[in-house]
Amino acid sequence: MTHQPSPLTPRRLARGVAVGGLLAAGLALSTGAQALTVISFGGASGDAMQKAYYGPFAEQTGVDLTPGDYNGELSRIRAMVETGNVSWDLVEMESPELARGCFEGLFEPIDWERLGLADTLIDSAVEECGVGTFVWSTVLAFDADALEASPTSWADFWDVEQFPGTRGLRRGAKYTLEFALMADGVPADEVYAVLATDEGVERAFAKLDEIKEHIQWWEAGAQPPQWLVAGDVVMTSSYNGRIAAAQEEGNNLAIVWNESIYDLDYWAIVAGSDHVDEAYDFIAFASQPETQAVYSSEIPYGPVHPDAIAQLDEEQARRMPTHEENLEGALAIDTGFWVDFGEELEQRFNAWAAR
């Protein structure tokens, strides 16, 4: 098994050329448009997008924007495009699904000259069919009131004797197999080399076998913090921003940044959309440092416009996946690996989980 290395690294995350504001981005806002349907992963992130992007964009442009949410199912988008019944215009995508959908022709190629942002955003935000919008992490989170000691690694997550109780993991191969290998002692920077072998895959599933009866599987990003607060699980994998939102509500939840997995989410225009012009206007609006700073102030996901970081205070910056301390021991998702082997591994995971 061979794969291409991920383009997302701490060096690439840090790199970006800071230029201009609204006018420098070449934003040409539409007026009198009929509608624009924007689909995200919802939850606390969707709430932040409403405040930073949806409301202000609709107010300034007169575009009738309709937000919605989903769980990242590429199959739903594929069905729309194949039947010609496209009801979504702009969707938030994780990088492997973006790359796969781009290859299948499910998304409009981005006209970066038209958008005018290729030399402005961090390198990893610039893709053939997607425009990066924020950097996130999947972390180990736990209920600090439910555990006598604090876990510090995925090895601790697997230790049901020292840390008894039900655990939460995302129902799927992606992230779950990486965490299993790290729990089995594989260093973060060697995970994908090991997982690219048949022996590595066997090793990951064997490790999952050890705690299968202790796992509660989540499918939506809102579930892990809800389960922690309700006492359904004592620790879980989770998107860092969702845990931060629960912390701000007064819940004593904690994040372990060590051995976290980070990546970007992207805006992608669905092929066959009737509102491509409005979609470009929205992407340009949501990529400005001012609007990005508002979003990252509401939920601690890292902005992709370097100038936005300067608008955040030190406390806010420290909560971002992009903060130097939080990148220590972290793993950049290997998009190429999941594009090449994702479907095969997801099928195997589903069969394993059903047993």
Domain 10-136+263-327 homologous superfamily, CATH: Periplasmic binding protein-like II (3.40.190.10)
Which residues, other chains included, contact 82 with Cβ-Cβ below 8 Å and sequence gap of 6+? none
pLDDT digits (tens, 9 = 90+) for 260-317: 999 999 999 999 999 999 999 999 999 999 999 999 999 999 999 999 988 998 888 8
What would you measure as the largest C-alpha separation in the chain, in angstroms? Answer: 62
58/55 Cα distance (integer angstroms): 5
In the chain, which residues fall in CATH 3.40.190.10? 10-136+263-327, 138-262+331-354
For 235, the enclosing helix (H) or strand (E) is: strand 235-239
Query: Percentage of residues in the chain with pLDDT exceeding 70?
Result: 90
What pTM was computed for the model?
Answer: 0.82
pLDDT digits (tens, 9 = 90+) for 100-116: 999 999 999 999 999 99
From residue 46, give the alpha-carbon distance in Å to each of 39, 41, 54, 69, 237: 9, 7, 9, 8, 20
Residue among 18, 10, 234 nearest 143 (CA)? 234
Residue among 135, 183, 178 nearest 157 (CA)? 183
For 346, the enclosing helix (H) or strand (E) is: helix 335-354
CB 88 within 8 A of CB 68: yes
First-last CA distance in the chain: 26
Domain 138-262+331-354 homologous superfamily, CATH: Periplasmic binding protein-like II (3.40.190.10)
Residue among 103, 119, 176, 121 nearest 8 (CA)? 121
Q: How confident is the model at residue 324 (pLDDT cuts 50, 70, 90)?
A: confident
Q: How confident is the model at residue 29 (pLDDT cuts 50, 70, 90)?
A: very low
Residue with tokens 């390198």: 123
Q: Is 70 exceeded by the pLDDT of residue 16?
A: no
